Structure 1
């Protein structure tokens, strides 16, 4: 009898220890953060500092994140980086920010260098690229850039598209006299004729409208593979510790994407973005003959996944990264899927195939959990 009692006690003790280990091994979310820090890969402009051309900036300008977290004790901080994508990578590495609005190439470079993040949604798809010259320039084509002084912001998502455009016209970056300038410096250099041409985005329409520049080439309306993508991503560690806060941020960014995709808001959207310092007319030109819902869709579809795979391939070929990185497991659409369902937006946007053509059925979420 005593032996039976001893055995029973040992079994119960083992069971209790096992249960205690099981509870201890379950993930325990950390206490709510004191702040949510969002890095933006541009110097921005205006007061308060903001940026344009992305649904994310709608959330910034309308104060929707601050509204969503009001009463939680969590402070929302927006940080803008003149050094664009590369500077944002450094901030992520140093844990100075939690989320980032970021371009495809610099994010891929960061991932190749070991940064652990999750892409949550797209926030600015199919961004155009332009070749801009001083008025009266004899440069009329991409081929005309050969041997010329060309401003190019290396390490940004425009850098890779610029290289692809050069390659499509029989040139390589070494065939031009590339000068690494950020957006503001490139505009100043072009206006003063310190360079013969510049690769850039919608910011150059302001110079054009002032008579200080000419658009020599545009990707608008051409092969969508010659466009740039941007997204919102989060540090892995922050997502694991604070899934509720991540969901709250995604909910707001989705609300902004829905508003920015509504054609009845086109004029109001461009006026809102103009508060960044880029004129209303520049956004009219950038989005001419393009549907807002296509450009402002938050969806991760075959086109988006294909573009990020292409960025990895091209970055390897150009030796901008030194190793292959995985793409499918980088996207965590679980927060987005929950937000789409919550806001009854599951059928709001069109999914596109790898070639950028409409697709009837959505691709499966790349990662199931947050």
Structure 2
């Protein structure tokens, strides 16, 4: 055998071996991601969270850009958290951004999900009243028509605020409205007051309402929390894809937490239809890292545990719901290590104070 023939056979053998070493092409996968909110005029964007950044900045699409068999689909829900639970129950979603109360309700009702990372933690809540209203405090809401969307994390936060001011839901006339309906009803003065966030700030900026209270600077337990939850079955079948999904969300959280990006961040969130000045107001006096941290720290876990207890106490959940085994930080921890972000965000203790301070 000539040297050229031997070389040719060696090359062909190596090539054949390399083909055997390549794993089989995976089946096409569509990753369905839900968002428990929707933009102005039903725009498929949101604002105020790192998950909103991941959508508007196409962080997941970029993560899988070189994987033609992986497709990303986003779904935005006017029905907020309760609608996300219904979609999870029908196996229509693999991951979702969702607030604390609806995700706990889903867990209480048997939905098999895992909490993967925080997104939109410590969000403030606002109370606005009609422009010519004489309501000046939470205590003045007694007997008034007050709007908020039932089943959302704003619902539970509102009840806790009422309780702190000596009121219960029975002391007010609860009007169940989404954000768009709330804005319309408050503008026409068909309601007296409403709990919410950026839509109410925007309405007040236009002179059609007055913000008389916000949880900003108040007891941190009145704040709302949210995060990325995933369907257990999908996570178990696709752990590698799950890791890359979490990686993408963590990258979005990092970019959203970097102060030099503040102006660009608000411009990105403006895709939702929320004006930039309203977003500036919404995040005033808060660092981006404080609001966009993905960490599952002691403060976050304790808040969810408290929400579970309060939700049953207020009759929003009929049975006890445990968070044991629900939080799954291994994908988050792997992403933090891979991206060298272990010390990028401050962890907080259950008392609300920074750990190590």
Q: Return the TM-score normalized by structure 2.
A: 0.91
Distance 1:222 1:144 in 2: 18
Gaps of 5+ in 1: 1-29, 362-370
**What is the DSSP-based 3-state SS (H/G/I as helix, E as strand, rest coil) of the residue aligned with 2:117?**
strand
Counterpart for residue 35 of structure 1? 30
- Aligned-residue offset at 1:33: 4.9
Distance 1:178 1:59 in 2: 34
Counterpart for residue 213 of structure 1? 209
* Contact kept? 2:127, 2:213, Cα under 8 Å: yes
- Aligned-residue offset at 1:45: 3.9
58-67 vs 115-124, which moves further: 58-67
- Aligned-residue offset at 1:70: 1.7
**Aligned partner of 2:276 among 280, 294, 297:** 280
Counterpart for residue 302 of structure 2? 306
Instruction: Write the deviation string for residues 11-31 of structure 1: whole angstroms up to 9, x where unpaired.
Output: xxxxxxxxxxxxxxxxxxx95
**Aligned partner of 2:184 among 182, 185, 188:** 188
Counterpart for residue 360 of structure 1? 356
- Aligned-residue offset at 1:48: 6.2
Q: Does 1:317 find its partner at 2:313?
A: yes
267-276 vs 95-104, which moves further: 267-276
Q: Does 1:68 find its partner at 2:36?
A: no
**What is the DSSP-based 3-state SS (H/G/I as helix, E as strand, rest coil) of the residue aligned with 1:360?**
coil
Instruction: Give 4+ residue runs of structure 1 displaced > 6 Å after superposition.
Output: none
Counterpart for residue 234 of structure 2? 238
Distance 2:247 2:233 in 1: 20
Gaps of 5+ in 2: 1-24
**Aligned partner of 1:344 among 332, 336, 340:** 340
**What is the DSSP-based 3-state SS (H/G/I as helix, E as strand, rest coil) of the residue aligned with 2:102?**
helix
- Aligned-residue offset at 1:144: 0.5
Distance 2:29 2:166 in 1: 52
Distance 2:33 2:83 in 1: 13
Distance 1:317 1:47 in 2: 34
* Contact kept? 1:46, 1:275, Cα under 8 Å: no
Where do residues 1-370 of structure 1 align in structure 2 (5 Å cutoff)? 31-45=26-40, 49-72=44-67, 73-360=69-356
Distance 1:32 1:202 in 2: 41
Q: Return the TM-score normalized by structure 1.
A: 0.87
Distance 1:46 1:268 in 2: 22
Instruction: Write the deviation string for residues 320-361 of structure 1: whole angstroms up to 9, x where unpaired.
Output: 112112213111000000000000000101110112110029
**What is the DSSP-based 3-state SS (H/G/I as helix, E as strand, rest coil) of the residue aligned with 1:358?**
coil
**What is the DSSP-based 3-state SS (H/G/I as helix, E as strand, rest coil) of the residue aligned with 1:351?**
coil
* Contact kept? 1:38, 1:99, Cα under 8 Å: yes
Counterpart for residue 364 of structure 1? none
Q: 1:46 to 1:249 in 2, by over 3 A?
A: farther
**What is the DSSP-based 3-state SS (H/G/I as helix, E as strand, rest coil) of the residue aligned with 1:357?**
coil
C-alpha RMSD over aligned residues: 1.5
